[in-house]
Amino acid sequence: MSPEPSHNPAIEVYGLEDRTFPPPVEVACDALVTGNELHEEAETDYEGFWARQAGDLLTWHREWDTILEWDLPYARWFVGGRLNAAENCVDRHVAAGQGDKVAFHWEGEPGDTRTLTYADLQIEVCRFANVLKGLGVTKGDRVAIYLPMIPELPVAMLACARLGAPHSVVFGGFSSESLAGRIDDAEAKVLVTADGGWRRGKAVPLKDNADVALATTPSIEHVVVVRRTGEDVAMTEGRDQWYHDLVEGASADCPAEPMDAEDLLYLLYTSGTTARPKGIMHTTGGYLTQVAFTHKYVFDLHAHTDVYWCAADIGWVTGHSYIVYGPLVNGATSVMYEGSPDHPGRDRWWDIIERYKVSILYTAPTAVRTFMKWGTAEPAAHDLSSLRVLGSVGEPINPEAWMWYRQHIGGGTCPVVDTWWQTETGAIMISPLPGATTTKPGSATFPLPGVAAEVVDDAGQTVTQGGGYLTLTRPWPSMLRGIYGDPERYQETYWSRFEGRYFAGDGARIDDDGYFWLLGRVDDVMNVSGHRVSTAEVESALVDHPGVAESAVVGAKDEVTGQAIVAFVTLKGEQEASDGLGQELRRHVATKIGPTARPKTVIFTDDLPKTRSGKIMRRLLRDVAEGRDLGDTTTLADPAVVEEIRRRATEAPSED
C-alpha cells in the first residue's frame, strides 16, 4: 500500500497487476484493426468518425442533415435521418442474398433446438408485426415483453421496431410487482408473454406472474401468450390470445415504418441495487450505429465465419445490444440458449461451444467465478479450440478470474476483452480491441474510438494518474436520451455531480500507462481511517488467494476506524472454512495491498447475494455487517442466501 497520501485522493489505488498480454499473432494477423488508425481518425473529427460508421454500418431511407445537436444534457444524433431498425437487422441481409444464413442457433434448456435463418426471421417478424397491428398497435405505442429466452423474444422486439412501437422488455426472472410497475410507468398497451420458461429443469410460471401483474395494469388491452412449457394457464376471455393462433393467419408481408433517427426504439428499466427503476430511453440511429460498431470491432467480428455467443439474458441491456441489435445489424450468426449453465450438468456451456463451434463468447465475471468454483475438469473435457475471442461485462473482473478465463476457457491464447459500459451508455465504451490492444488482466484498457472518458477527483479536476470518478466528456451516439417521464431525475442522476460531464457512478483508476481500471460503484467505496478504499481492489486481493472462489467486501461502521472492512468469502470446492484460514486471508490482503485494507472480519459463506443479472448486492451485506434489518430484497436472485449469511455473520470471529 502507498504510504500516507500526500493529498486526499478520491479513491486510493494499490496497483496489483503487472502482467501484460499483447494481441496473439493468430488473432492479430487477420484482425479488422491492428493499429491506432480508428482512434486517430476519431480524435481528428469524432463527429465525422461516427457519421462514417453510421453510413458504413446501416442502411438509411434518408440521410441525416446534421450529425450532432448537443444541448447538454440532450443529444440528437443524425438529425433528419430516417431508417428502420428491423429492416437493418433483417430485411437488408435477405435482400443482399444472405437469407439462408443462420441468424440464431437456438437451444432450449430441455435440449430442443431451432435454427432461424435471416429469411425465417423476416417471415416471423413480419407476421408478428401484423399481429400487433391487428391488436391496434401503432407507431409510438409501448409494448411490454415478458418472455423467456426463446426465439419469439427477439422476434417480438423486432416486430415492435418494424412498426415503430417502442418495446419494454422485462426480464423473465422479475416478479409480478416489478412487471406491473414497469408496465404502468410505460403505459404499455399490449403485453407479450409465455406460459412459462425452463430454468434448472423447472417451469417458471410467467403467465401466472403476469396475471397477478395484470390485475393492476389498466393500460394493457391485449395479452399475447407464447406456448413454451405446455403447462396449464388461465386465459382471460377478450384479453388473452395464443401467439400461435394469431400468427397462423397473419400475412408475412409488412412494410417497415421509416423512423426518425431520434425516434424511441425502446425503454429498458434499470433497477440498480437500490432505488426505484428508471426507464432508460434509447433511440434509433445513434444507438444502432454504436452497437453495430462496437459489436464488430470489440469482438473482431468476421461475420462470414464467426459463431458468436453472448450468454446474457435479453432482459438486460447486454442482451438488447449484443444478442439482438448489434449482431443482427452486422449479419452475424449467434447462439442463443434458454437455460442455466448447470442443467443437466455443469458442462452445458462447454458442450454448446463444442457442438456449435462458438468462436466468440461474451459473458459476465460472476459466471466466470462460478465456473472457477466448479473447477477445471468440465471445460477440460470439451474441445473449446473454436474460441478466438472472450468478452467480459457487468462488473470489474478481478485479475485471477481474467487469467482463469483466458487459460481454462481460452486455451491460454484467446484475448480477453473486458468491456465497460452501462444500460445508460447503450453500447460498450471502454474496451480493448483484440487485434490491437495489449491487455492487462482486470483492466478495461482504453476508451474506444469516438468515446471521451476521464477520471476526476472530488472537485471535478481531471486525474491523469490515480483513482477517482469515471466521467464521459462528450456525447456519444448510443447515449440514453433521458429517463422516461422524468427529465429532472435524468439531469440530477447523471449531469449534476460534475459540471458539463456525464457521471457514471463508477470509480476508476488510471495507471502509469494510461490504462483504465474500473473500481466498482462509488457508493461502495469504503472509508477506513480516512483512506478511501475500493471494494473491488480488496475483493481482487482475496480472490488472488488460491482457496477463494469469490468475495464481496463492505465497510461496516466502526468506532475506531470510521468503517471496518468486512469480507464475505466463498471458497473453492475442495477448501474447508476455518478460523485459521480467515486469519490467513486477512494476512494475504495485508501483504498484497497493505495493512489499511486488511479485513477486520472474514465471513465464510456458500453463496453471495446477487441481483438477477449477477451483480453483488453490497447494500444488503452492509445491513448484515451492521446488524440491521434488511432493506429491499425484491431484486435479489435468491433471498434465502442472505438469511444464511446472517447466521454465519453472528458466528464469525473478528480481529481485535
| Burial of residue 98, with CB atoms counted within 10 A of its CB: 0-12 exposed, 13-18 middle, 19 or more buried | middle
Q: Provide, rounded to whole angstroms, the least separation between the CB of residue 100 and ligand WTA.
A: 33
Task: Pick between residue 217 and residue 445 the one whose CB is nearest to ligand WTA.
Answer: 445
**Judged by CB under 6 A, which stretch of 156-164, 324-332, 419-427, 484-492 contacts ligand WTA?**
419-427
| Dist. CA 74–CA 481, nearest whole Å | 6
Interacting residue with ligand WTA among 521, 532, 545, 622 (CB under 6 A) = 521
Q: Provide, rounded to whole angstroms, the least separation between the CB of residue 258 and ligand WTA.
A: 30
**Judged by CB under 6 A, which stretch of 124-132, 202-210, 414-422, 537-545 contacts ligand WTA?**
414-422
Task: Pick between residue 164 and residue 555 the one whose CB is nearest to ligand WTA.
Answer: 555
Nearest residue to 54 via CA among 70, 38, 77:
77
| Dist. CA 57–CA 329, nearest whole Å | 8
Q: Provide, rounded to whole angstroms, the least separation between the CB of residue 428 and ligand WTA.
A: 8
| Dist. CA 251–CA 19, nearest whole Å | 58
3-class secondary structure for 6-26?
CCCCCCECCCCCCCCECCCHH
Q: Provide, rounded to whole angstroms, the least separation between the CB of residue 38 and ligand WTA.
A: 20
| Dist. CA 429–CA 472, nearest whole Å | 9
**Judged by CB under 6 A, which stretch of 253-261, 355-363, 501-509, 579-587 contacts ligand WTA?**
501-509
Q: Could you tell me if 210 and 244 are in contact, meaning their C-beta atoms sit under 8 angstroms apart?
A: no
Buried b / exposed e over 480-513, threshold 16 CB at 10 Å, is: bbbbbeeeeebeebbbebbeebbbbbbbbbbbee
**Judged by CB under 6 A, which stretch of 25-33, 228-236, 289-297, 311-319 contacts ligand WTA?**
311-319
Interacting residue with ligand WTA among 91, 109, 506, 539 (CB under 6 A) = 506
What does each C-alpha distance from 489 to 114, 280, 344 come to in angstroms?
A: 43, 11, 44
Q: Provide, rounded to whole angstroms, the least separation between the CB of residue 424 and ligand WTA.
A: 7
| Dist. CA 195–CA 462, nearest whole Å | 52
Q: Provide, rounded to whole angstroms, the least separation between the CB of residue 457 and ligand WTA.
A: 19
Under the binding rule (CB under 6 A), the answer on residue 538 touching ligand WTA is no
Residues 611-650 that bind ligand WTA (CB under 6 A): 613
Interacting residue with ligand WTA among 178, 366, 423, 635 (CB under 6 A) = 423
Task: Pick between residue 450 and residue 582 the one whose CB is nearest to ligand WTA.
Answer: 450
**Judged by CB under 6 A, which stretch of 10-18, 63-71, 199-207, 316-324 contacts ligand WTA?**
316-324
* 583 Cβ contact list (under 8 Å, min separation 6): none
In terms of DSSP H, where are the helices of 229-364?
243-248, 285-298, 317-319, 326-329, 348-356
Under the binding rule (CB under 6 A), the answer on residue 535 touching ligand WTA is no
Q: Provide, rounded to whole angstroms, the least separation between the CB of residue 134 and ligand WTA.
A: 35
Per 3-state DSSP, the chain is made up of helix, strand and coil in percentages (nearest 5) of: 30, 25, 45
Q: Provide, rounded to whole angstroms, the least separation between the CB of residue 506 and ligand WTA.
A: 5
Length in residues, the chain: 656
Binding string, residues 435-464; x marks residues near ligand WTA by CB under 6 A: ---------x--------------------
Task: Pick between residue 108 and residue 286 the one whose CB is nearest to ligand WTA.
Answer: 286
User: How far does Cα 64 stand from its chain's mean position?
Assistant: 30
Task: Pick between residue 423 and residue 563 the one whose CB is nearest to ligand WTA.
Answer: 423
Q: Is 207 helix (H, G, I), strand (E, B) or coil?
A: helix
Q: Could you tell me if 535 and 395 are in contact, meaning their C-beta atoms sit under 8 angstroms apart?
A: no
| Dist. CA 116–CA 119, nearest whole Å | 8
Name 283's bridge partners. Answer: 264
Interacting residue with ligand WTA among 84, 271, 289, 318 (CB under 6 A) = 318
Residue 298 region by backbone torsions, left for phi larger than 0, else alpha for psi between -120 and 50, else beta: alpha
Task: Pick between residue 586 and residue 612 the one whose CB is nearest to ligand WTA.
Answer: 612
Q: Provide, rounded to whole angstroms, the least separation between the CB of residue 532 and ligand WTA.
A: 17
Task: Pick between residue 306 and residue 506 the one whose CB is nearest to ligand WTA.
Answer: 506
Q: Provide, rounded to whole angstroms, the least separation between the CB of residue 470 and ligand WTA.
A: 8
- Half-sphere exposure (Cβ direction) of 44: Cα atoms closer than 13 Å: 8
Which strands form 516-521's sheet, in the order they lie side by side?
462-463, 453-456, 466-472, 502-510, 516-521
Residues 367-396 that bind ligand WTA (CB under 6 A): 393-396
User: How far does Cα 623 stand from its chain's mean position?
Assistant: 26
Q: Provide, rounded to whole angstroms, the least separation between the CB of residue 398 and ligand WTA.
A: 10
| Dist. CA 548–CA 399, nearest whole Å | 13
Sign of torsion over alpha carbons 645, 647, 648, 654: positive
Under the binding rule (CB under 6 A), the answer on residue 422 touching ligand WTA is yes
Task: Pick between residue 444 and residue 554 the one whose CB is nearest to ligand WTA.
Answer: 444
Under the binding rule (CB under 6 A), the answer on residue 312 touching ligand WTA is no
Binding string, residues 222-261; x marks residues near ligand WTA by CB under 6 A: ----------------------------------------
| Dist. CA 168–CA 186, nearest whole Å | 8
Task: Pick between residue 478 and residue 601 the one whose CB is nearest to ligand WTA.
Answer: 478
**Judged by CB under 6 A, which stretch of 10-18, 96-104, 412-420, 634-642 contacts ligand WTA?**
412-420
User: Other C-beta atoms within 10 Å of 562: how many?
Assistant: 14
Q: Which helix (H) or strand (E) holds 654?
A: none
Interacting residue with ligand WTA among 17, 195, 418, 537 (CB under 6 A) = 418
Q: Provide, rounded to whole angstroms, the least separation between the CB of residue 512 and ligand WTA.
A: 20
Per the listing, cell 461475420 goes with 303
**Judged by CB under 6 A, which stretch of 415-423, 455-463, 554-562, 646-654 contacts ligand WTA?**
415-423
Q: Provide, rounded to whole angstroms, the least separation between the CB of residue 326 and ligand WTA.
A: 12
Under the binding rule (CB under 6 A), the answer on residue 473 touching ligand WTA is no
User: How far does Cα 635 stand from its chain's mean position?
Assistant: 16
Task: Pick between residue 191 and residue 427 the one whose CB is nearest to ligand WTA.
Answer: 427
Q: Could you tell me if 467 and 5 are in contact, meaning their C-beta atoms sit under 8 angstroms apart?
A: no
Task: Pick between residue 393 and residue 566 the one whose CB is nearest to ligand WTA.
Answer: 393
Q: By rule CB under 6 A, what count of residues binds ligand WTA? A: 21
Interacting residue with ligand WTA among 34, 59, 270, 386 (CB under 6 A) = 270
**Judged by CB under 6 A, which stretch of 10-18, 117-125, 504-512, 642-650 contacts ligand WTA?**
504-512
Q: Provide, rounded to whole angstroms, the least separation between the CB of residue 79 and ligand WTA.
A: 27
Interacting residue with ligand WTA among 317, 324, 336, 360 (CB under 6 A) = 317
Per the listing, cell 433517427 goes with 261
* Positions in the binding site for ligand WTA (CB under 6 A): 270, 316-318, 393-396, 418-423, 444, 504-506, 518, 521, 613
